[in-house]
């Protein structure tokens, strides 16, 4: 399988939360640090880097400043260093409850405090020196075993998660990280939680919660007994092994989960590569050969479609479309036009892709009619987490409305019908639009929303009024944006 950006390890970014539920913040003014912010935003995001050379020391770099946290001998802390020096070296000491203690390696003192009274001068660990790690990445990803070079996925036949797949294909490869009680759970695509003994359960419990540890840029998951998740046995069943320290077997990468889609043409058949290299609308069911990985280019916002047979869709002689390209080029890029419940694709020759009478796809049309329109269905987000510019979408306490600026997130369930999506929240209530564009989550009947995949990793959601969903100044989710851009785009 070619790389070409398909397998991209996510840069691990996170916030650090102190004992009073405030986030470590790097300020631009004076490069000062404090722990005053109630939520995780740009100034609260940090990147962990290994210190060059031998040893276990690490560096904490502010994501928005690009500078390093440092602690002087007298305990004063700042985030001013453009290059990491001796005072920037810290040791991470994971605690039994999942929190971290940060110790200055050269001076041996512990980092902590509250609000703008932070220092690295404590000689003993108190609650003020305990930090919770809160990942700042989107929590839905693919999980790759570093030692086996295989992806984790739900195996329904054995009722377990196994790391035995060469590619993260299909909905089963989606893993959702759930932040709960200062620790993380691993949730499968069917909404079950992974226990450390390898079982899948419907409700979170002590043995489904893991402490995150970082080693050389990789992730390890430590269970409540101090043991680490690893692929075990010939099938690679994911469960806690015997090691109390993470080796290569216990390390994982998180990779970006690109949308995987199926498409239905005007003849009501699925677009497929089952019968050869020609892309044709000739199948009655959606399986691997009918599933395509869709990747949107950051600059042009055009998309590519990658097939399970290992080739990109590409424009060939006389306008034909074949799944034969092994590299991304101009002929593999398609422009998407969103037309309500349908989508049209324009190829690099400036013509629209249509379904010919024999079902084969070809870019030979100058105008969009019925044969040029397709239903596009997202298949690898049966459960959905949305994040906007100000934070995650979450139920508002004591209300049927939805917040858009939260550090924590709720998981929503997605269903599909005739080019539109229905979103179900806590308690089974459906999203629906109320008066003045408000979006509520307690509907008894499903309301249709249209998903438009406008940018890489971001979707615009259109309500029945024709307006797009956005986070308003009050932090409430509203359907009142005229254009699918900026605050009306959501990471999914």
> What is each CA distance from 270 to 193, 284, 338, 343, 411, in whole angstroms?
32, 6, 19, 14, 29
Put residue 96 in one of left, alpha, beta given phi > 0 → left and psi -120 to 50 → alpha. Answer: alpha
Q: How far is CA 85 from the centre of its chain?
A: 33
For residues 46 and 318, give the distance between their C-alpha atoms in angstroms, rounded to a whole number. Answer: 51
> Bridge-partner residues for 486, per DSSP?
none
For residues 425 and 412, give the distance between their C-alpha atoms in angstroms, rounded to a whole number. Answer: 5
Q: Mean per-residue pLDDT for 313-327? A: 95
Pair (484, 388) in one structural domain = yes
Percent of the chain with pLDDT over 70: 98
Q: What is the pLDDT of residue 38?
A: 87
35-47 pLDDT, tens digit per residue, is: 999 888 889 999 9
pLDDT at 281 > cutoff 90: yes
pLDDT at 285 > cutoff 80: yes
Pair (339, 395) in one structural domain = no
pLDDT at 4 > cutoff 70: no
The last residue of one of the domains, among 78, 104, 135, is 135
- 377 three-state secondary structure: strand
Tracing tokens 């999914």 back to the chain, one arrives at 492
Q: What is the pLDDT of residue 397?
A: 87
Pair (18, 121) in one structural domain = yes
153-178 pLDDT, tens digit per residue, is: 999 888 999 999 998 988 999 999 99
420-447 pLDDT, tens digit per residue, is: 999 999 888 999 998 788 999 999 999 9
6 domain residue, yes or no: no
The last residue of one of the domains, among 231, 256, 281, is 256
451 domain residue, yes or no: yes
Tracing tokens 């890029």 back to the chain, one arrives at 333
Q: What is the pLDDT of residue 2?
A: 38
Instruction: Quote the DSSP letter at residue 449.
Output: B
- In sequence order, the 6+-apart residues with CB closer than 8 A to the CB of 117 are none
For residues 460 and 483, give the distance between their C-alpha atoms in angstroms, rounded to a whole number. Answer: 9
Q: What is the pLDDT of residue 242?
A: 87
Pair (267, 182) in one structural domain = no
Pair (160, 208) in one structural domain = yes
Pair (52, 160) in one structural domain = no
Percent of the chain with pLDDT over 90: 76
Q: How far is CA 480 from the centre of its chain?
A: 26
Pair (53, 131) in one structural domain = yes
pLDDT at 103 > cutoff 80: yes
Pair (82, 190) in one structural domain = no
> Bridge-partner residues for 422, per DSSP?
415
193-237 pLDDT, tens digit per residue, is: 999 999 999 999 999 999 888 887 789 999 999 999 999 999 999
**What's the pLDDT band for 243 if we cut at 50, 70, 90?**
confident
Q: What is the pLDDT of residue 7?
A: 64
142-155 pLDDT, tens digit per residue, is: 999 999 999 999 99
- 116 three-state secondary structure: coil
374 domain residue, yes or no: yes
pLDDT at 313 > cutoff 90: yes
What pTM was computed for the model?
0.87
Q: Which long-range contacts (CB under 8 A, 24 or more apart) does 398-402 make?
A: 400/429, 400/440, 400/441, 400/442, 401/438, 401/439, 401/440, 401/441, 401/476, 401/477, 402/431, 402/439, 402/440, 402/441, 402/476, 402/477
Pair (121, 184) in one structural domain = no
With contact defined as beta carbons under 8 Å apart, do 307 and 278 qualify?
no
Q: Mean per-residue pLDDT for 70-94? A: 94
69-78, 246-255, 403-412 — most confident range: 69-78
277 domain residue, yes or no: yes
**What's the pLDDT band for 5 if we cut at 50, 70, 90?**
low
- Tally of domains in the chain: 4
Pair (274, 358) in one structural domain = yes
pLDDT at 59 > cutoff 70: yes
pLDDT at 259 > cutoff 90: yes
Query: What is the residue-wise DSSP string for 242-311?
Result: S-SS--GGG-EEEEE---EEEEE-TTS-EEE-TTSSB-EEEESS-SGGG-EEEEE-TTT--EEEEETTS-
Pair (336, 417) in one structural domain = no
Q: Mean per-residue pLDDT for 391-407? A: 89
**What's the pLDDT band for 3 if we cut at 50, 70, 90?**
very low
Q: Mean per-residue pLDDT for 80-90? A: 94
State the chain's mean pLDDT as an integer: 92
- In sequence order, the 6+-apart residues with CB closer than 8 A to the CB of 105 are 55, 57, 89, 90, 91
pLDDT at 1 > cutoff 80: no
Pair (177, 252) in one structural domain = yes
CATH number at residue 472: 2.80.10.50
Residue 142 has φ and ψ, to the nearest 5°, of: -100, 145
Q: What is the pLDDT of residue 466?
A: 94
364 domain residue, yes or no: yes
Provide the residue range defining the domain that includes 339: 261-378
């Amino acid at each position: 399988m070619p790389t070409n950006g398909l397998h991209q390890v996510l840069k691990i970014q996170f916030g650090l939360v102190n004992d009073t539920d405030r986030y470590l913040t790097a300020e631009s003014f004076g490069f000062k640090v404090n722990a005053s912010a109630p939520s995780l935003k740009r100034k609260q995001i940090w990147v962990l880097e290994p210190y060059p050379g031998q040893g276990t020391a690490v560096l904490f770099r502010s994501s928005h400043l690009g500078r390093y946290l440092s602690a002087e001998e007298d305990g004063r802390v700042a985030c001013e260093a453009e290059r990491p020096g001796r005072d920037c070296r810290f040791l991470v000491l994971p605690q039994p409850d999942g929190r971290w203690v940060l110790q200055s390696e050269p001076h041996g003192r512990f980092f902590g405090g509250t609000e703008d009274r932070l220092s690295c001068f404590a000689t003993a660990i108190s609650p003020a020196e305990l930090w919770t790690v809160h990942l700042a990445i989107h929590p839905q990803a693919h999980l790759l075993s570093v030692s086996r070079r295989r992806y984790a996925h739900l195996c329904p036949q054995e009722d377990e998660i196994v790391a035995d797949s060469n590619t993260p294909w299909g909905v089963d490869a989606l893993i959702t990280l759930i932040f709960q009680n200062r620790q993380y759970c691993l949730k499968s695509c069917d909404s079950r939680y992974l226990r450390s003994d390898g079982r899948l359960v419907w409700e979170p419990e002590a043995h489904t919660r893991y402490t995150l540890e970082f080693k050389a840029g990789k992730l390890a998951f430590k269970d409540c007994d101090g043991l680490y998740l690893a692929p075990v046995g010939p099938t690679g069943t994911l469960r806690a092994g015997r090691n109390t320290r993470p080796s290569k077997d216990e390390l994982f990468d998180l990779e970006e989960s690109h949308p995987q889609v199926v498409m239905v043409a005007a003849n009501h058949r699925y677009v497929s590569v089952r019968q050869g290299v020609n892309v044709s609308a000739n199948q009655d069911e959606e399986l691997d050969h009918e599933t395509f990985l869709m990747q949107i280019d950051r600059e042009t916002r055009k998309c590519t479609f990658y097939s399970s047979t290992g080739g990109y869709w590409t424009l060939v002689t006389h306008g034909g479309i074949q799944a034969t390209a092994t590299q991304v080029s101009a002929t593999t890029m398609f422009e998407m036009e969103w037309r309500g419940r349908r989508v049209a694709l324009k190829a690099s020759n400036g013509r629209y892709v249509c379904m010919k009478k024999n079902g084969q796809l070809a870019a030979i049309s100058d105008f969009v009619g019925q044969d040029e329109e397709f239903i596009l269905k997202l298949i690898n987000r049966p459960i959905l987490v949305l994040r906007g510019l100000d934070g995650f979408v979450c139920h508002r306490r004591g209300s049927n409305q939805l917040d858009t600026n939260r550090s924590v997130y709720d998981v929503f369930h997605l269903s599909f019908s005739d080019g539109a999506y229905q979103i179900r929240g806590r308690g089974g209530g459906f999203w629906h639009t109320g008066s003045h564009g408000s979006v509520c989550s307690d509907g008894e009947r499903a309301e249709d929303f249209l998903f438009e995949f406008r940018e890489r990793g971001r979707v615009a959601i259109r309500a029945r009024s024709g307006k797009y969903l956005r986070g308003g100044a009050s932090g409430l989710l509203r359907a009142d944006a005229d254009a699918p851009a900026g605050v009306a785009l959501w990471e999914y």
